[in-house]
A = this chain, B = another copy of it.
Amino acid sequence: MAKKIRIIDSTLRDGMHAVSHQFTPEEMAEIAAGLDAAGIDTLEVSHGDGLGGSSYNYGFAAAKDEDYLKAVSQVLKNSKLGVLLLPGIGTAHDLEMAAKFGAKVVRVATHCTEADIGEQHIKIAKELGMEAIGFLMMSHMVPPEKLVEQAKLFESYGADAVYVTDSAGAMTPYDVKKRIEAVKDAISVPVGFHAHNNLGLAIGNTLAAIEAGATYVDGTTRGLGAGAGNSQTEILVAVLAKLGYETGVDLYKIMDVAEELVAPKMRRPQIVDKAALSLGYAGVYGSFLLHAMRAAEKFKVDVRDILIELGRLKTVGGQEDMIVDVAYELSKAKKQ
């Protein structure tokens, strides 16, 4: 019997990054109806940075979280409605609102060493009757043992599944395999994998994850997403069909959604350009790029040297002030 793989499509969440969070509720409803008809198991909907993300800091979305959720939940017949929540950006109140407007699944996303800040939200989600999934971001930054420790924490809070998330698109298939195998061995709930395509490996890494035991994988139609984008859902469906996996998704229908409903709404093609490749190679957050480019100009150093140094120092979101320090140190070293 074919092995079942659950696809969580994040066109309407991670994909929001690629349209500067400007999908309208009507556009979301149109795409969601297509994804639902194609047989997508779960659709993730919200600002690119999750519930509560619409703000000066993360960019204002075209509409409110609840308007998106209302619009999408009205058209869904079979797919489950999911949301993303980053503790600190989204709140318990946002989660209650999402449940009220039909969200059945929440992914609680934390930095890969900080599962503990997701405890409360996992527990609230379970109380609300939702499926709760732990989502360990920037998983390339720590060795498998650390991910195991953090995945166990999420499981102990009651998470129904735990994701290894390659937020920077920095992993190779070998990195993925080691991490998924270790986490799979350590917990008894399903393991998921979320890829980014900065090193052109979104699909290859997703296959490596499945081979290593992941049964939940993410995609977005046309690869829409932050930076170089995600695994392209319609490609994933085609490749998994070729390999004999069952996704429940109709290949022709998902291809048509991508080509006819999503592509015309895109602002830019989802390619791996110099900026995206630099981020994946360095393994740093996309939000560092603009700051690093400004610092590179000011201190007359190559932006890639800054990004690589930030990666080596294992800087994380919130440490943007280090960018100028790094640029300054590099310019000093250059002069010597």
Chain A residues proximal to chain B, CB less than 8 Å: 172-174, 199-205, 207-208, 222-223, 231-232, 234-235, 238-239, 241-243, 251-252, 255-256, 258-259, 263, 269-274, 277-278, 280-281, 302, 304
Contact = CB atoms under 8 A, between A and B. Distances in A.
A241 to B, nearest CB: 8
Nearest to A242: B172
Given A199-B238, A203-B204, A235-B272, 13 more contacts: A172-B207, A199-B242, A200-B202, A200-B231, A200-B232, A204-B207, A222-B271, A234-B274, A238-B280, A242-B281, A251-B281, A259-B273, A269-B269
A69 B189 CA distance: 59
A272 B204 contact: no
Copies, count: 2
A217 to B, nearest CB: 13
A179 B273 CA distance: 31
Contacts of A232: 200, 272
Contacts of A258: 274
B274 A259 contact: yes
A209 to B, nearest CB: 12
* Chain A interface mostly: helix
A199 B206 CA distance: 12
Given A239-B172, A243-B172, A201 B203 contact: yes
A101 to B, nearest CB: 33
Contacts of A242: 172, 199, 281
Report, nearest first, the 6 A-B pairs whose CB atoms are least far apart: A204-B204, A269-B269, A200-B203, A259-B274, A200-B235, A238-B281
A234 B271 contact: no
Contact of A274 (B202, B256, B274, B281): B256
A274 B262 CA distance: 12
A278 B304 contact: no
B256 A173 contact: no
B273 A173 contact: no
Contacts of A238: 199, 277, 280-281
Given A269-B271, A271-B269, A277-B234, A239 B199 contact: yes
A141 to B, nearest CB: 14
A199 B330 CA distance: 40
Nearest to A273: B259
A269 B273 CA distance: 11
Nearest to A252: B304
Nearest to A260: B274
Of listed A203, A243, A251, A263, residue having the most chain B CB within 10 A: A203
B273 A263 contact: yes
Contacts of A200: 202-204, 231-232, 235, 239
Instruction: Name the residue among A200, A207, A222, A280 with the largest chain B CB count within 10 angstroms.
Output: A200
With most chain B CB atoms within 10 A of its CB, the pick from A202, A235, A302, A304 is: A235
A18 to B, nearest CB: 13
A280 B203 CA distance: 14
